[in-house]
């Protein structure tokens, strides 16, 4: 289980709306000086809110530890990145297979590009349908694992409260 600190910002039925507590502006590494991504994170102060199963009865304002299954995350990442990449390559090869006899080099490239675009578009439609089907699969949903009082204390220290 991959774990992260979060704060409950809302409740919906048996789920909670959570906001991840970021220790760095972008959440990628501990470096904040000399980093372009860090600068964008500070400028836009992006906060993402997501829904997680609330099995512990957390209330709005509570600090919690939220977790997601590693295998589900890996499988989702492979689907999101791998399938479109494979579809682009297959589409390009398929486009090249339909090149008519006597075509000049510019036409060959056009068929390959059109095939790649068609492969990408088809894979994105497939991914949309696949992700809609997985939306209610409990394996892919984050879960609140336990309460975490340290989150609230750290936020109060950062704010000077």
pLDDT score for 42: 61
Most confident of the ranges 30-34, 64-68, 151-155: 64-68
For the 2-68+142-159 domain, the top CATH level (class) is: mainly beta
Q: Tell me, what's the pLDDT at 48?
A: 77
Give the per-residue SS3 of the chain: CEEEEEEEEEEECCEEEEEECCCCCCCCCCCCCCCHHHHHHHHHCCCCEEEEECCCCCCCCCEEEEEECHHHHHHHHHHHHHHHHHHHHHHHHHHHHCCCCCCCHHHHHHHHHHHHHHHHHHHHHHHHHHHHHHCCCHHHCCEEEEECHHHHHHHHHHHCC
- In this prediction, residue 92 carries a pLDDT of 95
- What percent of the chain is predicted at pLDDT more than 90? 29
Say what the pLDDT of residue 132 is. Answer: 84
The whole model's pTM is what? 0.64
Across 4-13, 122-131, 145-154, least confident range: 145-154
- pLDDT single digits (tens) 93-142: 999 998 888 777 778 889 999 999 999 999 999 999 988 887 777 788 88
pLDDT confidence band for 154 (50 / 70 / 90): low
Q: Where in the chain is the domain with CATH 2.30.30?
A: 2-68+142-159
């Amino acid at each position: 289980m991959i774990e992260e600190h979060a704060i409950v910002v809302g409740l919906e039925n048996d789920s909670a709306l959570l906001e991840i507590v970021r220790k760095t502006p972008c959440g990628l590494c501990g470096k904040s000086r000399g980093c372009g991504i860090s600068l964008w994170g500070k400028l836009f102060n992006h906060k993402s809110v997501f829904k997680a199963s609330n099995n512990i009865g957390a209330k709005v304002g509570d600090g919690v530890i939220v977790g997601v299954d590693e295998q589900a995350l890996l499988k989702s990442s492979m689907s999101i990145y791998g399938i479109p990449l494979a579809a682009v390559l297959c589409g390009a090869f398929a486009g090249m297979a339909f090149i008519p006899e006597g075509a000049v080099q510019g036409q060959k490239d056009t068929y390959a590009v059109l095939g790649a675009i068609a492969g990408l578009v088809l894979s994105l439609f497939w991914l949309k349908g696949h992700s809609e089907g997985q939306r209610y699969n409990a394996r892919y949903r984050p879960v609140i694992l336990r309460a975490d009082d340290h989150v609230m204390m750290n936020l109060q220290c950062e704010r000077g409260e």
